[in-house]
Copies of this chain bind each other. A is one copy, B any other.
Amino acid sequence: MEQADFLELFERALAAHQVLVFFCSCEIRYSGRAEAFLPQGDRVILIKEDQTLIIHQPINGNPINYLKPGAEIRVEKHQGHLLLKAKSGKDYLDVELFKVHDLMTKKLEDGQKQFLQGNEKDMSDMIKTQPSLISDDFRPVSREEHTKFGFIDVFGHDGKGNLVVVECKRYTASLACVTQLRRYVEKMKDLKGTGKVKGVMASPSISTNALGMLQQWGFRHVVVEPPKRLERYNKDQRALDAFLR
């Protein structure tokens, strides 16, 4: 693709807040929270309407370089080829464009948000409405969602005069998760001036080391799966899919 053609289309699309994608051979310098250099190779560059800049190599899931939304982006001629210079906050990206293979631009119309279920919040909600998931005598004191005594997921008491702090994790609980629970329990003991505070880790599973530390602190692990209400629908889809194959 010709330099002049690219430059014109690029400027116009950028000004019109279109989305731009192009294939190119380039070399990249990054400076900001860290410093990086990526030698010449073919990449995909995506510029969104909010001036997000994302650069992908032909393999791997994550972008190799990027700038957050709101970047200042411009292209200038530099020693026979083009130089894309961009800045977002403290981060700077310089992309030497040796060759632009192909470019695609379009104004995209969206504005939808994704509905997502099965996160940690859904898990703690489930425990509040089904306290027996923790124990027969567990009584949650719903109320506090984010702050009050901290960021405790579910807080309550049992029938033996103990306060109970529940920490939910949607994945295998690790050492870090247990220290988090420990921190909350100690905060609660401090605030309430009592030693009768129990810790419960609610997660689908827990690593061996984490379980060891949990028990060392006299805490309990309870197996709880994150709720996925759309699961049946999707299961059906998968079954149908397998049938059609």
A219 to chain B, nearest CB (A): 15
Q: How far is the CA of A19 from the CA of B119 in the complex (A)?
A: 32
User: What 0/1 pattern do residues 166 to 177 of A give for CB contact below 8 A with B?
Assistant: 000010000110
Whether B54 and A61, one on each chain, are in contact in the complex, defined by CB atoms closer than 8 angstroms, is yes
Number of copies: 2
Verify if A131 is at the interface (C-beta below 8 Å from B). Answer: no
Q: How far is the CA of A213 from the CA of B182 in the complex (A)?
A: 13
Whether B56 and A60, one on each chain, are in contact in the complex, defined by CB atoms closer than 8 angstroms, is no
Whether A49 and B58, one on each chain, are in contact in the complex, defined by CB atoms closer than 8 angstroms, is yes
Whether B34 and A228, one on each chain, are in contact in the complex, defined by CB atoms closer than 8 angstroms, is yes
A122 to chain B, nearest CB (A): 9
* 8 Å CB interface, A131-185 against B: 170, 175-176, 179-180, 182-183
A51 to chain B, nearest CB (A): 9
Given contacts A49-B59, A110-B57, A110-B58, contact A34 B116 (CB under 8 A): yes
When distances are taken between beta carbons in the complex, the residues of chain B under 8 Å from A241 are: 85
Whether A46 and B56, one on each chain, are in contact in the complex, defined by CB atoms closer than 8 angstroms, is yes
Verify if A81 is at the interface (C-beta below 8 Å from B). Answer: no
Interface majority SS (helix, strand, loop, mixed), chain A:
mixed
A67 to chain B, nearest CB (A): 8
Q: How far is the CA of A66 from the CA of B66 in the complex (A)?
A: 17
Whether A44 and B23, one on each chain, are in contact in the complex, defined by CB atoms closer than 8 angstroms, is no
Verify if A118 is at the interface (C-beta below 8 Å from B). Answer: yes
* 8 Å CB interface, A66-121 against B: 66, 68-69, 85, 92, 94, 101-102, 104, 106, 108-119
Q: How far is the CA of A143 from the CA of B80 in the complex (A)?
A: 48
Q: How far is the CA of A110 from the CA of B60 in the complex (A)?
A: 12
Query: A-side interface residues toward B, CB under 8 Å?
Result: 19, 21, 23, 28-29, 31, 33-44, 46, 48-50, 52, 54, 56-61, 64-66, 68-69, 85, 92, 94, 101-102, 104, 106, 108-119, 170, 175-176, 179-180, 182-183, 226, 228-231, 234, 237-238, 241
Beyond contacts A37-B230, A92-B237: 13 other A-B pairs, Cβ-Cβ < 8 A, are: A21-B44, A23-B106, A31-B238, A34-B228, A35-B118, A41-B112, A46-B46, A49-B58, A57-B108, A61-B69, A92-B234, A101-B106, A102-B104
